[in-house]
């Protein structure tokens, strides 16, 4: 099977935060950044939370107002910090390109192809794209109305309600060999919160058996790491299209290196046809 890119990876907001110090985990971002190379596409959450923590640091208080406006303002502040941090620790011989996407870029064929070609050019131009949802300009109300309109026109609509879906859709768009989703847990658990019940493999003899086993594992999932997140069950639902497309999926803790995850050295939940 031929793949256009080697890896699409994604890290969640809570995995990026050092909970003890309540700041970005710079050691973690340094390690991830040092492993990125052309042929990888990296999706990063964390702009809103990073902006919130930075605002508090500089002003000694949180923003007040509507939740929508606050999210917009924090995201705009956090994006700059995230990108400068990735740039600081990335190999200096590679270019970094920030890519902010919205649901419309996956539901309009012309925009989707434009995005695909741009991301593919990065590989040829010695650049690494860092992708995030464009929270700074997209309100929940406008997104809901746009999605409803699209649902009347077509059967399947990409919502990009969180970056797990965005990562899975980019893996499909680029036909990625691997999709890694980094979280604050070791992977998918049979028992919520219990790492001893890690499901290390979700597989099958063919794609139909794999999809059935993914759906069965969704029954073990409940809860989410933060308000507004959709949790492990949603991750499993989102990655189905990528698995059908031939991508091997790894859901794992952000404490593991990309190298160890790809080699099989680190524990994780690995998903695909045997």
pLDDT at res. 223: 53
Total domain count for the chain? 1
Q: Tokens in use for 230?
A: 């959709």
Q: How many percent of the chain have pLDDT more than 90?
A: 79
Bridge-based pairing state of the strands 201-204 and 17-18: unpaired
pLDDT, one tens digit per residue, over 93-117 is: 999 999 999 989 999 999 999 999 9
Alpha-helical segments (H) within 19-157: 26-35, 47-59, 67-89, 104-107, 109-124, 140-153
Q: How confident is the model at residue 121 (pLDDT cuts 50, 70, 90)?
A: very high
pLDDT, one tens digit per residue, over 134-143 is: 888 877 766 6
pLDDT at res. 233: 92
CA 94 from centroid of its chain's CA atoms:
21
Query: For residues 176 and 7, is the Cβ–Cβ distance under 8 A?
Result: yes
**Residues ≥6 apart with Cβ < 8 Å to 72:** 135, 136, 137, 139
**Residues ≥6 apart with Cβ < 8 Å to 62:** 52, 55, 56, 70
User: Coil, strand or helix: which one is 142?
Assistant: helix
User: Model pTM?
Assistant: 0.92
pLDDT, one tens digit per residue, over 142-157 is: 667 777 787 877 668 8
CATH number at residue 16: 3.40.1160.10
Does residue 53 carry a pLDDT above 60? yes
pLDDT at res. 153: 76
Select from 45, 50, 59 the least CA-distant residue to 10. Answer: 45
Arithmetic mean of pLDDT over the chain: 92
Distance CA 229, CA 222 (A): 11
Query: For residues 211 and 219, is the Cβ–Cβ distance under 8 A?
Result: no
Question: Domain range spanning residue 232?
Answer: 5-273
Q: Which of 59-63, 69-73, 82-86, 230-234 has the lowest mean pLDDT?
A: 230-234
Q: How many percent of the chain have pLDDT more than 70?
A: 95
pLDDT, one tens digit per residue, over 77-96 is: 999 999 999 999 999 999 99
Q: How confident is the model at residue 28 (pLDDT cuts 50, 70, 90)?
A: very high
């Amino acid at each position: 099977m031929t793949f256009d890119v080697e890896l699409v990876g994604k890290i969640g907001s809570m995995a990026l935060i050092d909970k003890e110090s309540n700041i970005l985990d710079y050691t973690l971002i340094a390690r991830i950044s040092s492993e990125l190379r052309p042929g990888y596409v990296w999706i990063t959450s964390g702009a809103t939370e990073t902006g919130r923590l930075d605002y508090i640091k500089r002003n000694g208080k949180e923003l007040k107002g509507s939740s929508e406006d606050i999210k917009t303002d924090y995201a705009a502040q956090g994006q700059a910090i995230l990108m400068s941090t990735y740039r600081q620790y990335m190999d200096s011989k590679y270019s970094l390109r920030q890519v902010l996407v919205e649901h419309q870029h996956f539901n309009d064929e012309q925009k989707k192809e434009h995005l695909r070609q741009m991301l593919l050019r990065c590989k040829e131009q010695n650049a690494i794209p860092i992708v995030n949802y464009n929270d700074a300009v997209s309100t929940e109300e406008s997104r809901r109305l746009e999605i409803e309109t699209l649902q009347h026109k077509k059967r399947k609509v990409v919502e990009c309600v969180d970056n797990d879906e965005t990562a899975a859709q980019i893996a499909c768009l680029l036909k990625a060999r691997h999709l890694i989703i980094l979280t604050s847990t070791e992977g998918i658990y049979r028992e919520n919160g219990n790492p001893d019940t890690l499901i290390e493999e979700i597989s099958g003899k063919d794609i139909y058996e794999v999809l059935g086993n993914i759906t069965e594992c969704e029954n073990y999932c409940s809860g989410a790491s933060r308000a507004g997140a959709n949790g492990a069950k949603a991750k499993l639902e989102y990655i189905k299209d990528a698995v059908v497309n031939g991508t091997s999926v790894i859901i794992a803790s952000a404490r593991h290196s990309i190298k160890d995850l790809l080699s099989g050295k680190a524990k994780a939940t690995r998903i695909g046809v045997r």
